[in-house]
Amino acid sequence: MIKIGIIGGTGYTGVELLRLLAAHPEADLRIITSRGEAGKQVAELFSSLRGHVDLAFSEPETKSLAGCDVVFAATPNGVAMTHARELLKAGVKLIDLAADFRLKDPAAWEKWYGMPHACPELLAEAVYGLPEVNREKIKKTRLVANPGCYPTAVQLGFLPLLENGLVDTQHLIADAKSGVSGAGRKAELHALFSEAADSMKAYGVAGHRHWPEIRQGLDSASKKSVGLTFVPHLTPMIRGIHATLYARLTQPGAQLQALFEQRYAKEPFVDVMPAGSHPETRSVRASNVCRIAVHRPHDGDTVVVLSVIDNLVKGAAGQAVQNMNIMFGLDERTGLDQVAVLP
Amino acid sequence: MIKIGIIGGTGYTGVELLRLLAAHPEADLRIITSRGEAGKQVAELFSSLRGHVDLAFSEPETKSLAGCDVVFAATPNGVAMTHARELLKAGVKLIDLAADFRLKDPAAWEKWYGMPHACPELLAEAVYGLPEVNREKIKKTRLVANPGCYPTAVQLGFLPLLENGLVDTQHLIADAKSGVSGAGRKAELHALFSEAADSMKAYGVAGHRHWPEIRQGLDSASKKSVGLTFVPHLTPMIRGIHATLYARLTQPGAQLQALFEQRYAKEPFVDVMPAGSHPETRSVRASNVCRIAVHRPHDGDTVVVLSVIDNLVKGAAGQAVQNMNIMFGLDERTGLDQVAVLP
Amino acid sequence: MIKIGIIGGTGYTGVELLRLLAAHPEADLRIITSRGEAGKQVAELFSSLRGHVDLAFSEPETKSLAGCDVVFAATPNGVAMTHARELLKAGVKLIDLAADFRLKDPAAWEKWYGMPHACPELLAEAVYGLPEVNREKIKKTRLVANPGCYPTAVQLGFLPLLENGLVDTQHLIADAKSGVSGAGRKAELHALFSEAADSMKAYGVAGHRHWPEIRQGLDSASKKSVGLTFVPHLTPMIRGIHATLYARLTQPGAQLQALFEQRYAKEPFVDVMPAGSHPETRSVRASNVCRIAVHRPHDGDTVVVLSVIDNLVKGAAGQAVQNMNIMFGLDERTGLDQVAVLP
Amino acid sequence: MIKIGIIGGTGYTGVELLRLLAAHPEADLRIITSRGEAGKQVAELFSSLRGHVDLAFSEPETKSLAGCDVVFAATPNGVAMTHARELLKAGVKLIDLAADFRLKDPAAWEKWYGMPHACPELLAEAVYGLPEVNREKIKKTRLVANPGCYPTAVQLGFLPLLENGLVDTQHLIADAKSGVSGAGRKAELHALFSEAADSMKAYGVAGHRHWPEIRQGLDSASKKSVGLTFVPHLTPMIRGIHATLYARLTQPGAQLQALFEQRYAKEPFVDVMPAGSHPETRSVRASNVCRIAVHRPHDGDTVVVLSVIDNLVKGAAGQAVQNMNIMFGLDERTGLDQVAVLP
């Protein structure tokens, strides 16, 4: 059994981690912290966990966390980095679900997240936890930067094209639609039901924090600096990301369907659908799967990739558990075999 | 392993059965039939099942079903009764998710369902599959009538009051709100997104098929003929039933909270919440739990019970699997320990 | 033209007032105040008003408001009462959309709203602005307490029964379902999309501020102190209230359908539907209509009334404009003839 | 007063036409036909129209329609063309809300709509009813082809760029999201609440009927044959289209914001928002406005245009009324000044 701690378990990625770990045969959840809710039973805050989680929130103290094998940080950006040194020093592995260790360049971190990095010396060591790219590194690391939700959907959709040099890398377009849970469990006007329901809007067109993260991954896949236009949209659904990706084909003869199928043939959580498919976000609701379809409309030179995930699972807590499985030598699918909830 | 067949797996109770059985360690799904979709892969119809169910729909033939240990009928009302005799004769247990065997009185069946009963001789033998009432009978039967969704939520909420003779049984009121999936996977105008979203309405106030079913259960619990007003409402959500129950207290000194807690203390799937609680349907989404709270507003003589279930799980497929577990001597919770999906 | 001021126009009742007044041929909107948004263009906050409202929010000052013929208070509870004396003294009529002047008893106000009343001497003079009951008084008053949303739907449904002494007044039940906009435009966790969507729950069963308001109206209609159980529910829709009312008939021979039709025959905004109908909230979306249907299921002694309104229109801003029309001698329907938006 | 007939008023564009015409001071609705509902009161089918429309559906007969000044066809594709010759011969103007007269090339019609055209000789005469492009022609015509919903949102967004030759016309991308009402009021599985709610999917990537219509308009605006990738998405909202448009800028110095503002300065129903804006579909809900914002992320060479409409108003019935106003010499805004319904 793996002794597990969670820092900051009162948000949506926190409750989702709890849901997944409750069903994980090797997970021994020891401690879950929250400064604001210390002392309260977890199941009092999230009644869905009644009968499944019998823990109370505690104050975040390194001492008690140090007894864990691994700690998940489900905290706001900028918190995990203040715990990292001590935890690693104590021999605890750390999986950060926030952005603290995603960008390799501390200057980029400071620019996009508005604060200096607390432990820049750890950035080189941190492994970007996209198993479909970095599985071998994840096996050996003690520090995983769990990818963002948009970056997961967008990178998995673009990777086969970029790794094989099939498209114009200077004009990549990612039009992404996210459910409202992506905004987190925070009392903010724009995320109110009466503001977000029955409506659609783009946001952050001028610049979104996931843009540099996605670019970093695509740069690496294509071995050059890509040009990316990324437009996220707030969609009236709870969970789900639908990324619609556009790229100009430079290799007209490419066998796209076969290429995608081969790239992900051995991946347990990427499902390339048959040619002509249109994946729905609900087909991955509450599951750790990324479903992808690739199209070339009117046999033209624009390739369209459709990539869907559940932002809270493959886009956050599920991928974090997948990374834990890899780090501890378990079968990658352990505790992650849930069938999507449809309808 | 239990060899399992499903008749009519193309509706919402069908796909939900498949989701649950895919995670059931003792389930060996052998056959799933559909007249309309015979030959098509199940996962082609429900992409959520890709990688989990590797079966194609077949024609409903008694011969192939006869090799199963148990058959679930997830068919429209009136179909299971045409298969029942032959299946039972072949030694197959039958769990009907439709209404064919719920009403003990064949005349009531004919009145409410508009057709004569095909095997009235089996009605006496059929056990109404509400484990919280009939667990011992379910253990021994070969024919289970799985309860309706509204009847499950309403009966579980009223039972402690009626079994203890605490309320006026002549003026029971059940105001029930159901998600749209309760209408089934049928192409009907009133269930369109653009008809049902962002709106609320009552329906069937003059008479609903679940009224006689609920009354039959309440009659039995109170050992007299009850008076029940039942008003169902179509609610703009996919899953979930919220039953709000009203009864006039005739025993003013009754300790309602303790009474409910004791009644359900040993029930694995009924969760009596602390005094003052308001259960949410999402707290049971995709799980087999019924959450209940009991109130007595302003210390008056009206008791209010709040009872929530997922109509497709405890209100249909989950309860059917629970019944199967009981019939085959398994731990009742086998394959049904999913944490609700929240948010 | 009526010179109009609005205090506190940044909430949902405020923006709805603006929508209605923009289409009102006699409305001359002069001033709209907001402490928090002073200086900002109204249309910058609510882009739906671009091209329709060319005003900026200003600080709430009695001096500038004193030049108006009428002021609407679309403020939180407890604010209008601090402006009332001065406005009335300046000869300005006041329509309060909050609760400050609804309860006749200042002790009840203090109990339910947690603060002493700032001008209890005005409570007797204030007219409860339900035109279907108090039209003649509204014509003559300078101070209208605009009814709450639940109280409007519930009272209009019960009135014909109570005024005619047809039911047991000691056991009235109002099971009411409201859209989330009823919670206001406030950044609160429970009103987030990811909390309120795709779920249903009751709240405030132990006691809700609208309970004494409804009781006061029903007491008056029945000329005795009624017993009322009121259970509000949060429903995943933006607008709309569906009140389902239950009462025990004491006059079995009553002609309910005719009675309701006669009671509201001359009311421009109450629509009694044909026998057997089930009104939908969307049938009144964005309109000032209350649609009602009356049922007597199974010819029993329980009468069921279904009453739907748009909580922001007939339940707030529309009724306020209706009251203004009455106070200023206009045709009551002026500016309020919008057809509901369906779908 | 304009004598008006409507063919086929039982769909969503039909009921929306009725809503708008009920508020139009010059509209005299004489007849509304429906083969399936002949004899039934319109308000019986759509309870939102109770008190506003006092007509019954009648059989579609040219004789009675011939007495109208104008007929709106709110019928499925292929129906209006069977009425056109006779109506025009009788001196009746025709506004077709379906696609029958949108494509100038009868071969393209046959290819995309799967049937030969019934009156190809009228195609040249028909005017494509996008007032922002064809206002002068609309004034003089007797036959208007009312644009599709996607084509309206997409063309209005692209026009300023194409008319001024600012972008690479060979690689235009339109990623469009539509509410479910765009699928019409038809009993089809994919449009069920339980299929479409809380989920997102693309559809018709391989080819959608609006693709040739959009291209025809963009070809005309840019005076060359454009290359267009068009991906529509089904979004869980009732009304609204959000088109996100991408084009590569070939004139880097272009003043995009000023250009858009100037292009639409005199247009009553196109609202160019301030730089940096993100229009929401709800800001145009139930109104005839198209709101547009133009962005150039990271000062790169990709321009992003955000264009939102209500698919049933500016995308269908509202634009049809706007066209009627133009054809009959009325102020274009007559009856179309509704403020959007927000929230």
Q: pLDDT per residue over B107-154, tens digit each? A: 999 999 999 999 999 999 999 999 999 999 999 999 999 999 999 999
How does DSSP classify residue D200? -
d(CA A310, CA D33): 46
Average pLDDT over residues D252-276: 97
How does DSSP classify residue D287? S
Cβ-based contacts of B47 with chain D (< 8 Å): none
Same domain flag for A47 and A83: yes
Nearest to B199 among C201, C227, C240 (CB): C240
Q: If you measure CA to CA, which chain A residue comes closest to B52?
A: A339
DSSP, collapsed to helix, strand or coil, labels residue D262 as helix
Nearest to B286 among A49, A239, A341 (CB): A341
> pLDDT-derived band of residue A62, with 50, 70 and 90 as boundaries?
confident
D50 touching C (Cβ < 8 Å): yes
Same domain flag for D154 and D296: yes
Report the share of chain C in percent with pLDDT over 90: 98
Specify the pLDDT at position A61: 83
Question: Domain for residue C170, yes or no?
Answer: yes
B324 touching A (Cβ < 8 Å): no
User: Would you call D193 and B198 a contact, using CB atoms and an 8 Å cutoff?
Assistant: no
Same domain flag for C120 and C153: no
Instruction: Calculate how close chain C gets to D266, using CA atoms only, in Å.
Output: 13
Average pLDDT over residues D302-329: 98
User: Would you call C193 and A192 a contact, using CB atoms and an 8 Å cutoff?
Assistant: yes
DSSP, collapsed to helix, strand or coil, labels residue B5 as strand
Q: Does the structure's ipTM exceed the value 0.90?
A: yes
Nearest to D197 among B12, B187, B193 (CB): B193
d(CA A263, CA A156): 10
D312 touching B (Cβ < 8 Å): no
Question: Domain for residue A110, yes or no?
Answer: yes
Amino acid (1-letter code) at residue C29:
L
Question: Domain for residue C260, yes or no?
Answer: yes
**C128 close to C217: Cβ distance less than 8 angstroms:** yes
Specify the residue for token string 């709240």: C203
Question: Domain for residue D116, yes or no?
Answer: yes
Which residue of C173, C175, C199, C308 to mutate against B (max B Cβ within 10 Å)?
Answer: C199
Cβ-based contacts of B187 with chain D (< 8 Å): 187-189, 192
**C335 close to C328: Cβ distance less than 8 angstroms:** no
Instruction: Calculate how close chain D gets to A82, using CA atoms only, in Å.
Output: 31
Cβ-based contacts of C47 with chain D (< 8 Å): 273, 277, 279-280, 283, 291
Same domain flag for C165 and C101: no
D280 touching A (Cβ < 8 Å): yes
Cβ-based contacts of B236 with chain D (< 8 Å): 193, 197
d(CA A47, CA C279): 34
Nearest to D191 among B179, B181, B193 (CB): B193
Same domain flag for C121 and C170: no
> pLDDT-derived band of residue D323, with 50, 70 and 90 as boundaries?
very high
Instruction: Calculate how close chain D gets to A306, using CA atoms only, in Å.
Output: 8
Q: Around D338, how many Cα atoms within 13 Å sit in the side-chain half-sphere?
A: 33
D198 touching A (Cβ < 8 Å): yes
Same domain flag for B164 and B100: no
Specify the pLDDT at position C54: 95
Strands (E), chain B: 2-7, 27-33, 70-73, 93-96, 127-128, 143-145, 172-178, 201-202, 228-234, 241-248, 270-272, 290-295, 302-309
End-to-end Cα, chain A, rounded Å: 34
φ/ψ (deg, to 5) at B298: 55, 25
Same domain flag for B168 and B288: yes
d(CA C231, CA C177): 8
Question: CA-CA distances (angstroms) from residue B267 to B130, B150, B289?
Answer: 12, 19, 10
Nearest to C341 among D271, D277, D286 (CB): D286
What's chain B's length in residues? Answer: 343
Instruction: Calculate how close chain A gets to B283, using CA atoms only, in Å.
Output: 4
Nearest to D50 among C22, C47, C271 (CB): C271
Average pLDDT over residues A50-71: 93
Amino acid (1-letter code) at residue C239:
R
Average pLDDT over residues A95-100: 98
Tell me: the pLDDT tens digits for A164-207? Answer: 999 999 999 999 999 999 999 999 999 999 999 999 999 999 99
Nearest to A199 among D237, D276, D304 (CB): D237
> pLDDT-derived band of residue D61, with 50, 70 and 90 as boundaries?
confident
User: Would you call C291 and D47 a contact, using CB atoms and an 8 Å cutoff?
Assistant: yes
d(CA D143, CA B216): 64
> pLDDT-derived band of residue C92, with 50, 70 and 90 as boundaries?
very high
Which residue of A149, A154, A201, A302 to mutate against D (max D Cβ within 10 Å)?
Answer: A201
Residue A207 belongs to domain with CATH number: 3.30.360.10
Same domain flag for A112 and A223: no
Q: Which residues pair with A231 in a beta bridge?
A: A175
Same domain flag for B161 and B307: yes
User: Would you call D202 and A278 a contact, using CB atoms and an 8 Å cutoff?
Assistant: yes
Same domain flag for C278 and C155: yes
Reading across the β-sheet that carries B302-309, which strands appear in turn?
B201-202, B228-234, B172-178, B241-248, B302-309, B290-295, B270-272
Specify the pLDDT at position B62: 78
B195 touching D (Cβ < 8 Å): yes
Q: If you measure CA to CA, which chain D residue comes closest to C309?
A: D48
CA C315 to chain centre: 3
Cβ-based contacts of D180 with chain B (< 8 Å): 192-194, 197
Cβ-based contacts of B181 with chain A (< 8 Å): 343
Q: If you measure CA to CA, which chain A residue comes closest to B283?
A: A48
Tell me: the pLDDT tens digits for B38-62? Answer: 999 999 999 999 999 999 999 988 7
- Number of structural domains found in chain D: 2
User: Would you call D236 and B185 a contact, using CB atoms and an 8 Å cutoff?
Assistant: no
Specify the residue for token string 């110095």: D253
Instruction: Calculate how close chain D gets to A65, using CA atoms only, in Å.
Output: 37
> pLDDT-derived band of residue A3, with 50, 70 and 90 as boundaries?
very high
Dihedral, C127, C131, C136, C142 alpha carbons, nearest 10:
40
DSSP, collapsed to helix, strand or coil, labels residue A197 as coil
Amino acid (1-letter code) at residue A13:
T
User: Would you call D302 and A229 a contact, using CB atoms and an 8 Å cutoff?
Assistant: yes
B281 touching A (Cβ < 8 Å): no
- Residue C156 buriedness (CB in 10 A; 0-12 / 13-18 / 19+): buried
Specify the pLDDT at position D322: 98
Q: If you measure CA to CA, which chain A residue comes closest to D232?
A: A244
- Residue C253 buriedness (CB in 10 A; 0-12 / 13-18 / 19+): exposed
> pLDDT-derived band of residue D252, with 50, 70 and 90 as boundaries?
confident
Task: Report whether pLDDT(C44) > 90.
Answer: yes
φ/ψ (deg, to 5) at A290: -110, 120
Q: If you measure CA to CA, which chain C residue comes closest to A46?
A: C195
Cβ-based contacts of A195 with chain C (< 8 Å): 185, 193
Q: Which domain holds residue A43?
A: 2-125
d(CA A294, CA B149): 40
Spans of chain B, pLDDT less than 50: none
d(CA D272, CA D279): 10
d(CA A306, CA A302): 13
Question: Domain for residue C336, yes or no?
Answer: no
Cβ-based contacts of D342 with chain C (< 8 Å): 15, 19, 46, 48
B238 touching D (Cβ < 8 Å): yes
d(CA A237, CA D86): 48
**C74 close to C14: Cβ distance less than 8 angstroms:** yes
Residue B113 belongs to domain with CATH number: 3.40.50.720
> Would you list the DSSP string of B192-224?
BHHHHTT--EE--TT--THHHHHHHHHHHHHTS
Question: Domain for residue C321, yes or no?
Answer: no
D287 touching C (Cβ < 8 Å): yes
**C319 close to C17: Cβ distance less than 8 angstroms:** no
Question: CA-CA distances (angstroms) from residue C271 to A24, A118, A201, A276, D50?
Answer: 56, 65, 36, 50, 8
Question: Domain for residue C139, yes or no?
Answer: no
Report the share of chain D in percent with pLDDT over 70: 100
> pLDDT-derived band of residue A63, with 50, 70 and 90 as boundaries?
confident
User: Would you call D22 and C339 a contact, using CB atoms and an 8 Å cutoff?
Assistant: yes
Specify the pLDDT at position D303: 98
Instruction: Calculate how close chain C gets to D284, using CA atoms only, in Å.
Output: 6
Cβ-based contacts of B52 with chain A (< 8 Å): 337, 339
Question: Domain for residue D134, yes or no?
Answer: no
Say how many CB pairs under 8 Å bridge A and B: 93
Residue A343 tokens read as: 């309808």
Question: Helices marked H in chain A — which ranges?
Answer: 12-22, 42-45, 62-65, 80-89, 106-113, 131-140, 149-163, 193-196, 210-222, 256-263, 318-327
Cβ-based contacts of D191 with chain B (< 8 Å): 192-194
Same domain flag for D80 and D180: no
- Select from B230, B216, B232, B217 the least CA-distant residue to B182: B232
User: Would you call D19 and C341 a contact, using CB atoms and an 8 Å cutoff?
Assistant: yes
Which residue of B229, B283, B307 to mutate against C (max C Cβ within 10 Å)?
Answer: B229
**Among A287-301, C60-74, D211-225, the least confident range:** C60-74
User: Would you call C280 and D343 a contact, using CB atoms and an 8 Å cutoff?
Assistant: no
Tell me: the pLDDT tens digits for A258-267? Answer: 999 999 999 9
Same domain flag for B270 and B188: yes
Tell me: the pLDDT tens digits for B64-79? Answer: 899 999 999 999 999 9
Q: Which residues pair with A232 in a beta bridge?
A: A176
C48 touching D (Cβ < 8 Å): yes
Tell me: the pLDDT tens digits for C47-61? Answer: 999 999 999 999 988
Based on the residue annotation, tell me whether B149 is a catalytic residue of this protein. yes
